[in-house]
Amino acid sequence: MVRVAQAALNSVWGLPFTRHPTIVQQTVRGLAVLATIGVGLVVSTLVNGYVSGVAAGIDLGWFGRVLGYLIAVILDLGLFVAAFRLLTHRQVTTRDVLPGAALCGVLFFVLQTASSLIISRFLHTAQSTYGPFATVITMLWWFYLQSVITLLGAQLNVVLKERLHPRALVDAPRTDADRRAYSAYAQVRTYHHNDEGLRSDFP
């Protein structure tokens, strides 16, 4: 799964196949991701559940809830900053990935809260109809939406970093951004080492 995420982000950033990481590099990055993002995701989910009262059944009051939710959003934002940097085999800075990380962090928090609400209030009634598959359906729904959110955030980073805007909605390519985007699409399919025509900002 981590290797698939690396391949997806490398493709989003337009990294040519000749510059893709080796199996060893992918494995090292994957272990780093599991050691940092995996632990951070568990902590963020626990904080969100505790603040919402789902996990502990404690009412922290409005101030405690707001503070807890703010901490959860910051944790989520940090997770996506780390994910976008660790999973991309290209030299990107925190500033490069911050817009997409901010978008993903907020939407991920909303998704966590909605999932907690569904599990605590609606899942037990759905189990009478769907049985144990209700939990599976909820998890698949969560993973699908999270993958879409992550890719949208990564695309936002690339568009802002490479200035791939404005784009023509019909009859493309018409703008300069269209032409640069189409050129990048062609460069992604580079399977042999050939420095001619390749962009110089790749590592």
Please report, in tens digits, the pLDDT of each residue of the chain (203 residues total).
788 888 888 888 888 887 878 888 888 888 888 888 878 878 877 777 677 654 445 666 777 778 878 888 888 899 899 989 988 888 899 999 999 999 999 998 888 778 777 766 666 665 566 666 767 777 788 888 988 999 999 999 999 998 888 888 888 788 888 888 888 887 777 766 654 444 444 44
Is there a contact between 14 and 185 (Cβ–Cβ < 8 Å)? Answer: yes
Rounded to 5 degrees, φ, ψ at 166 are: -80, 155
Alpha-helix residue ranges (DSSP H) falling in the chain:
2-12, 23-33, 39-52, 61-86, 94-117, 123-130, 133-161, 176-188
Alpha-carbon distance 79 to 166, whole Å?
29
Rounded to 10 degrees, the C-alpha dihedral 144/146/149/154 comes to -110
Q: What's the pTM value of the predicted model, to 2 decimals? A: 0.75
Alpha-carbon distance 73 to 67, whole Å?
10
